[in-house]
Amino acid sequence: MAGSTVLAALKLLSSALLLSQLCAATPVKLEERQAYAMIGDGFEEATMTLGSYYNYWSITNGTYDLTRSQRAPTTSPKTLPMMGDRKAIKIEPNRTALVIIDMQNFFLHPELSPGAVDGRGAVAPTVRMIEGFRKHGMKVLWVNWGLTEYDLLTIPPAFKAGFSGGSNLANETFGSDMGTLKENGTTIEVGRMLMRGSWNAEPYGVLGTMKDEGIKAGTDLWFDKNRLSGLWGPQTPLGLWLQENEVSTLFFGGVNADQCVWSTLVDAYFKGYDVVYVDDISQTTSPSYAVNMTRYNAQGYGEFPQVKWQKQS
Ligand SMILES: *[C@@H]1O[C@H](CO)[C@@H](O)[C@H](O)[C@H]1NC(C)=O
Ligand SMILES: *[C@@H]1O[C@H](CO)[C@@H](O)[C@H](O)[C@H]1NC(C)=O
Ligand SMILES: *[C@@H]1O[C@H](CO)[C@@H](O)[C@H](O)[C@H]1NC(C)=O
Ligand SMILES: *[C@@H]1O[C@H](CO)[C@@H](O)[C@H](O)[C@H]1NC(C)=O
Ligand SMILES: *[C@@H]1O[C@H](CO)[C@@H](O)[C@H](O)[C@H]1NC(C)=O
């Protein structure tokens, strides 16, 4: 498919697809032989449907069709190769979005996070990914820490301790003034830590410019979050928008891969979205943990040979 070739050239292929939990209140009729289709009994090319009419995947020959096209209209679905256990996915652009998490000055600027070398390395692939998504009419969603005074009152002490940079725990965490830094001879007010509208909570470098352009053009949207996950609890601004716009498939990138990206991805999975972890735009200061988490979940659960369920006769 022409579209997927373009996207693949943008390294969109660096993804592993995780299984989304599907509501199965009214299961589509499943022929018994189709349940065997994954285990090499000669029916690999049969189409298997998982889920109900309202929410389902169709799987043919290792390609997971996520478009739910019998129930909802399609525009120009794209088929993309995957890195994980599943070979390929087919997506409907109008119901697919890119979620970019925490690519903020606080986590990436060399003066504020000198160790975030891999995160800064993710900027260039993220730019290409944004361009690919915009080109195919798929929304780009910026999901970032953006705290309010109310959040400072209600956020638990465990989070304040976790984000405290110094020995003065109470005054060196969310909401505290981070002073100034100098860049190219200009003094920058870093602002209060991860507060909405502060400089440190803005996307880093060229991503800030791209975010502004995208929001102006209507291709991108901005969502503040007040926990590691942008989809925690009963509802969040991001969750409400996804629900109201009937988006079902989410691609994830940002920092840190094993923290904010991962917890948002896991919450999305729990809430029933199809979730795609994009390897080269998800980075962290603790890469071996992220590698193990994603490998464990996307490539057959750790180092044990994957046991396929087989019906006993
Ligand atoms: C199924 O996949 C195999 C191996 O990738 C390929 O040879 C075959 O042509 C595919 N069949 C269909 C119907 O796409
Ligand atoms: C899907 O397409 C409709 C009709 O063009 C448009 O109004 C809507 O914004 C699109 N949704 C997304 C998430 O792109
Ligand atoms: C934190 O800062 C406030 C205002 O500057 C000050 O009144 C307070 O004593 C400080 N708390 C600690 C534990 O240093
Ligand atoms: C400082 O210079 C670099 C390199 O030219 C540029 O990328 C960056 O945006 C500049 N920073 C500011 C605050 O102007
Ligand atoms: C990741 O997994 C590899 C292989 O099992 C192991 O050697 C390594 O210690 C793990 N890394 C961490 C941080 O646990």
Domains and CATH numbers, the chain: 20-91 (no CATH), 96-311 (3.40.50.850)
Q: Which ligand places an atom closest to the C-alpha of 188?
A: 4
Reduced to 3 states (helix: H, G, I; strand: E, B; else coil), residue 127 is helix
**pLDDT of 2 strictly over 90:** no
Please report the atom of ligand 1 found closest to the CA of residue 87: 5
What is the C-alpha radius of gyration for the chain, rounded to an integer number of angstroms? 21
- Please state the rounded mean pLDDT for residues 166-182: 86
Q: Establish whether residue 289 lines the binding site of ligand 5, counting it when its CB lies within 6 angstroms of any ligand atom.
A: yes
- Tally the residues of the chain: 313
Q: Which of 292, 294, 301, 303 to mutate to test the pocket of ligand 5 (most atoms within 8 A of CB)?
A: 292
Per-residue model confidence (pLDDT) at position 32: 33
d(CA 183, CA 25): 57
Indicate the DSSP class of residue 171. Answer: G
312: confidence class by pLDDT, cuts 50, 70, 90: low
Show contacts of 92-96: CB within 8 Å, 24+ apart.
Answer: 92/66, 92/67, 92/68, 92/249, 93/136, 93/137, 93/138, 94/137, 94/138, 95/67, 95/68, 95/246, 95/247, 95/248, 95/249, 96/138, 96/247, 96/248, 96/249, 96/250, 96/251
Q: Which is the closest atom of ligand 3 to the Cα of 169?
A: 13
User: How many H helices and E strands in the chain?
Assistant: 11, 13
Q: What is the pLDDT of residues 191-224, one digit of tens each?
A: 999 999 999 999 999 999 999 999 999 999 999 9
